[in-house]
Amino acid sequence: MTTRTSPPAPHGLLGPAPARCVLLCLASTAATGAGLLLPAALGRTLDLLLAQAPATRWVLWCAGLVLLLALLDAAETVLGGTLDARTTAWLRRRLTAHVLAVGPRATARFGPGDLVARLVGNAAQAGTAPTARAALLAALAGPVGAVVALGLVSPWLAAVFLAGAPVLALLLRAFARDTRECVTRYQEVQGRIAQALSEAVGGHRTIRAAGTEDRETARILRPLPELSEAGHRMWRVQGRASGQSVAVAPLLQLGVLAVAGVLLARHRITVGEVLAASRYAVLATGVGVLVGQLSGLARARAAAGRLDEVLAEPAVRHGERGLPPGPGRLELRGVTALRGARAVLDGVDLVVPGGTTLAVVGRSGAGKSLLAAVAGRLVEPDAGEVLLDGVPLRELAHDELRRSIGYAFERPALLGGTVEEEIGLALPSPAPARVREAARTARADDFVRRLPSGYDTLVADAPRSGGESQRLGLARAFAHGGRLLILDDALSSLDTVTEARIADALVSGGAGGTRLLVAHRTATAARADAVAWLDGGRVRAVGPHEELWRLPEYRAVFGGGEDAADGGPA
């Protein structure tokens, strides 16, 4: 049924563009090498110049090194930027394709918000991994090479530096510890303001109608001084911390310089070597860069791990069969579907003859929505089989499966296009006439035409009630067509009149086809040719609503709501 299409972590260490990655590594390492050579060359040149010896060759050497550094820097910039972009884009394309192949399971497993965070934020972080790896060698070589170079100038210089370095590390760590507490405080106040604002956004009609916007704004902003205070504190703490760390590196360099000066006074080294030593001391304090690189790489790896979790989710596999001509007979054979360890559907056998309408009723939690999902292969049954006109759904080709089965949901997800695009989501090419026809059937045409730009209005800009969203979803299903139409509680937010009109169109609509309706209202159940009564994951009874209505327990399914009062067959 399902298979692991892709093993986790197939994106190798070097990412999708290994050549570029290797080039970047070479460029940055070469730049580091040139950077390490430059102080020595500078020192040597200076010595020659001070001795008034011919130094043109050495000056040219230095110029060449500087030029090389600039060129390598440019190459690094372009290679790094494009490598990040390419890796990130590659990851996102792969993840999107995989998530789409996994389908609703992915949302169920991770939650939509988390999934977005992984595709957007984590992919961007993970995308920097090849660059970070490529730069790692250079970042390591820089400080190490500088310390070695110091040692070559004089072992004393390296000794001074290495003795002072631990102080640097300690102070840098103090910084990280200090800020966290006041950041928490800041976020807490910010959260209070956000909470009050979100309440007010929810109550904007009340506020605007009463004209109390100013008072509300003032009330919400009451904690602002606290926020400001917490913010100032953050800066103070940060200022203290960076005051400490800012002093460490220059002091270390001065220490090296002092020892170099003394060595110079004793004629153990030359002026040029003093100059070189002071440069090497600076390069050696670049060890902080290495720490940054390493933590960046760690972040990228953690992000890549979160992406691997998504990729490890198995994708749905489709068969290659087509459907024979048929009326759309739906058959469930021993279908069992688990949620965790609990069998929400437990060996369900059900046949919906082609061209008929079956209403599925049951208490909440009885498994109605899961049945609807299984019937159209939105969810894979854990056992049993679903057949459409005699062909198991999992043997059907993807396009054939989706062409043949249409869905409408209680809360349709709208994808942000125009109303026209939303309704025509399932259509391979634009079909304005079909979209409008479907909208009329779903009783959505009226309100769509009232939107600012009619069918061209972006759904995000369309003021919608729950009932209106639902009708857009219905129109989408009607435009989709197919021999099986599954309505998962897709009429619940409609007023009874509209529901009745749509249900009539559904049941009596000439196109034929089989309909499966998950219903809460007696009126809907009464309209169907038959009702399947789900109870505890099993089909308790199948029959016309009128017959089932005689059973008190069946009546109890419809609860004590308004419907139940006089909802029986009249």
Partner 1 sequence: MSDGSAHGGMYGRGLRYLRARWRVLVRLGGWSVLETGQTFLTGYAPARALDEGFLAGRPGVGLGWLGVAGIGVLVGAFGTVRVYAGVAALVEPLRDVLVGRVVERGVREADAGALSGLTQQVEIARDTFAGLVMVSRSFVFTAVGAVVGLASLDPRLLLVVLPPLAAGLGLFAATLRPLARRQEEFLVADEALADGLGRVCPGLRDITAAGAEARVAGDTGRLVDTEQRAAYSLARWSVLRVASLALGGQLPIVLLLACAPWLLARGVTTGALVGALAYVTQSLLPALRNLVHGLGTSGSRLVVVLRRLVREPATAPAAGGQVVRREPHGAPPLPSRTGTPGPDDDGTYPAAPGMAAHPPAPALPGDRTDAQPADRHAGAAGHRLTPHTPAGPTDHGPGTRPAGADARPGTAPRPADRAPALSLTAVSFAYGPAATPVVDHLDLALPAGAHLAVVGPSGIGKSTLTALVAGLLRPTGGSIRLCGHPVPSPDAAALRVLIPQEAYVHTGTLAENLGHLRMDPVPEPELLAAAEAVGLAPLLEALGGPQASVDPAALSAGERQLVALTRAYLSYAPLVLLDEATCHLDPPAEERAERAFANRPGTTLVVVAHRISSARRAGRVLLMDGSRTAYGTHDELVRDSPAYRELVGGWSAVPPKRSEPALPLGDPDRVDAVAGPGLAGDRGHVVAHGPVRQAQVPGDLRDGGPLGREG
Query: Rule CB under 8 A: which of 97-136 touch partner 1?
Result: 97, 99-104, 106-107, 112-113, 115-116, 119-120
78 binds partner 1 (CB under 8 A): yes
**Shortest approach of partner 1 to residue 391 CB, angstroms?**
17
231 binds partner 1 (CB under 8 A): yes
286 binds partner 1 (CB under 8 A): no
Q: Pick the closest to residue 315 from 104, 87, 57 (CA basis).
A: 104
Of 257 and 303, which CB lies nearer to partner 1 in the complex structure? Answer: 257
φ and ψ at 518, to 5 degrees? -85, 125
# of chain residues touching partner 1 (CB under 8 A): 164
Provide the residue type at 112 as one letter: P
Residue 334 and residue 383 in contact, taking contact as beta carbons nearer than 8 Å: yes
Using CB under 8 A, which of 158, 396, 527, 557 touches partner 1? 527
510 binds partner 1 (CB under 8 A): no
Using CB under 8 A, which of 15, 328, 362, 567 touches partner 1? 567
461 binds partner 1 (CB under 8 A): yes
221 binds partner 1 (CB under 8 A): yes
493 binds partner 1 (CB under 8 A): yes
412 binds partner 1 (CB under 8 A): yes
- Other Cβ atoms within 10 Å of 182 Cβ, number: 18
DSSP label of 418: B
**Shortest approach of partner 1 to residue 465 CB, angstroms?**
6
Element (H, E) at 336: strand 330-339
Provide the residue type at 260 as one letter: A
2 binds partner 1 (CB under 8 A): no
**HEC readout, 350-397:** EEECCCCEEEEECCCCCCHHHHHHHHCCCCCCCEEEEEECCEEHHHEC
487 binds partner 1 (CB under 8 A): no
Interaction mask 350-389, partner 1, x per CB under 8 A: --------------------------x-x-----------
List, in sequence order, every residue forming a beta bridge with 359; answer none if it has no partner: 517, 531
419 binds partner 1 (CB under 8 A): no
Using CB under 8 A, which of 170, 174, 188, 235 touches partner 1? 235
3-state class of 458 per DSSP? strand
**Shortest approach of partner 1 to residue 333 CB, angstroms?**
22
471 binds partner 1 (CB under 8 A): yes
Of 140 and 200, which CB lies nearer to partner 1 in the complex structure? Answer: 200
Question: CA 233, CA 216: separation in Å to the nearest integer?
Answer: 28
Interaction mask 173-212, partner 1, x per CB under 8 A: -----------------x--xxxxxxxxxxxxxxxxxxxx
430 binds partner 1 (CB under 8 A): no
DSSP label of 461: G
Q: Which stretch binds partner 1 (CB under 8 A): 21-29, 292-300, 359-367, 449-457?
A: 449-457
Element (H, E) at 114: helix 112-117
566 binds partner 1 (CB under 8 A): yes
Question: CA 444, CA 457: separation in Å to the nearest integer?
Answer: 14
395 binds partner 1 (CB under 8 A): no
Using CB under 8 A, which of 292, 305, 416, 559 touches partner 1? 416
467 binds partner 1 (CB under 8 A): yes
307 binds partner 1 (CB under 8 A): no
Question: CA 191, CA 201: separation in Å to the nearest integer?
Answer: 15
Q: Pick the closest to residue 259 from 234, 278, 246 (CA basis).
A: 278
216 binds partner 1 (CB under 8 A): yes
Interaction mask 19-58, partner 1, x per CB under 8 A: -----------------------x--xx--xx-x--x---
265 binds partner 1 (CB under 8 A): yes
Question: CA 473, CA 346: separation in Å to the nearest integer?
Answer: 29
Question: Residue 381 has which token pair?
Answer: 């049954």
- Residue 207, sorted as left (phi over 0), alpha (psi -120 to 50) or beta, turns out to be alpha
Residue 12 and residue 21 in contact, taking contact as beta carbons nearer than 8 Å: no
**Shortest approach of partner 1 to residue 317 CB, angstroms?**
14
Q: Which residues, in sequence order, are CB contacts of 236 under 8 Å at separation 6+?
A: none
Using CB under 8 A, which of 317, 363, 398, 538 touches partner 1? 398
**Shortest approach of partner 1 to residue 325 CB, angstroms?**
20
**HEC readout, 312-324:** HCCEECCCCECCC
Q: Which residues, in sequence order, are CB contacts of 524 under 8 Å at separation 6+?
A: 359, 491, 499, 503, 517
Residue that is written with structure tokens 């009062």 in the block: 565
Using CB under 8 A, which of 22, 247, 298, 556 touches partner 1? 247
433 binds partner 1 (CB under 8 A): no
3-state class of 520 per DSSP? coil
